[in-house]
Each structure stands twice: as structure tokens, then as C-alpha cells.
Amino acid sequence: MDTAGASRKEEKTMNKKTTKDNKTICGVCGGEVSKTTITHEEQRGTALYLFQNVLVTVCGACGEIWIDEEVLQEIDRLIKEGVPVRKVETPVYDFSRALPAV
């Protein structure tokens, strides 16, 4: 019974490891991913929020970006109660007006 318990435990550990390892391989193309920091844009209604130096996982092959759940929660928190380091005016252009109607 001890042996069975031990092997079951091992299996659990291995499953956990596999889940973690998935983060090193791109879920879209299977390429290698790495950690990097980006400026993330978050649109909430008509307001646009910018987050500098956001740690994300990026695929070196296809450029797909993943943001950790914790980081997304922090973004939500900052929008609600964070104090921005600065504010910028963002010019907005609408292509449906710039191009002639088809």
C-alpha cells in the first residue's frame, strides 16, 4: 500500500510539472517562449489605459503574447485604485472616415 501511495504521489508531481512546462512552449505554434516586458494597452469603455514594463510571456516564433492571471488582476486593481505615473493624450483616427466608402 505504501508503494502504491508513493507512485500515486509521484504521478501528481509529474502532472504539476507538465502544466508548468507548458508555459515554455507556445500554445499556438509550439515555438519557444520567453519572458519579456511590454507596454500593455487596456481598453475599458472609451478609456484607454497604458501599463509600462508589464512582464509577459512571448513566443519567439509567432509573437503571441500571454499575460499571467496575477498580472491581469493587478491591472484591474490599478485601474480601480492605482495612481498613474503620468497621463497622455491619445490621438484617435477612424479609418472608416479616412477612406472613401466602398
Shortest Å, Cβ 72 to Zn ion: 20
Continuous segment of H or E residues that includes residue 3: helix 2-21
Instruction: Choose between 36 and 52: whose C-beta lies nearer to Zn ion.
Output: 36
The correct pick among 14, 28, 48, 55 for binding Zn ion (CB under 5 A) is 28
Dist CA 68 CA 72 (whole Å): 6
Determine if 14 is a binding residue for Zn ion (CB under 5 A).
no
**# of chain residues touching Zn ion (CB under 5 A):** 8
Dist CA 14 CA 43 (whole Å): 39
Site for Zn ion in 55-84 (CB under 5 A): 59, 61-62, 64
Residue 60's region, left for phi above 0, alpha for psi from -120 to 50, else beta, is: alpha
Contacting residues toward Zn ion, per CB under 5 A: 26, 28-29, 31, 59, 61-62, 64
